[in-house]
Structure 1
Amino acid sequence: MPEKGTVKWFNDAKGFGFITPESGKEDVFAHHSNILGEGRKTLNEGEQVTFETVMGHGGKQEAANITRSR
């Protein structure tokens, strides 16, 4: 089920960062390969996004199907 959140930070050079869910849950890892859309796969600090939380590598939660909120 999609969630809404705010980009806490994102490192363009390394291609990852974290999203703070609106639900108040723990911050979620965000990898550039999980950002949907055309062009450069990056996020900006403070940007509102929608995402799904999935189990990632090592059993940790990460954001998938990340889209910018309109």
Structure 2
Amino acid sequence: MNKGTVKFFNESKGFGFIKDADSAKEYFVHSSGLKDSIREDDEVMFDLEEGKKGLNAVNVKLA
């Protein structure tokens, strides 16, 4: 699992971005890929899965 920080998350629209702690890359996250509810600046653990427009964060849970 990867570790990162929630950079942005719009609860009403159900999506956001997570910044990877190691690579500093940003990954898209959709509410369907969440295990826990998240907010901006939360430390999270996540897996990556290929999506339509690149890698998406899935199985996202609080660290």
TM-score > 0.5, shorter chain as reference: yes
Which 4+ runs in 1 deviate beyond 2 A? none
Quick one: distance in 1 between partners of 2:38 and 2:59? 13
The offset of 1:24, in angstroms, is 2.1
3-state DSSP class of the match of 1:46? coil
Aligned to 2:47: 52
Ranges in structure 2 where 5+ consecutive residues have no aligned partner: none
Give the strand-richer structure, 1 or 2: 2
Question: Equivalents in 1 of 2:51, 2:43: separation in Å?
Answer: 22
Q: Which runs of no fewer than 5 residues in structure 1 stay unpaired?
A: none
The share of aligned pairs that are identical, in percent, is 35
Distance, in Å, in 1 between the alignment partners of 2:35 and 2:21 is 20
- Report the structure number with the largest CA radius of gyration: 1
TM-score scaled to structure 2, two decimals?
0.91
RMSD of aligned C-alpha atoms? 1.2
Q: Count the aligned residue pairs.
A: 63
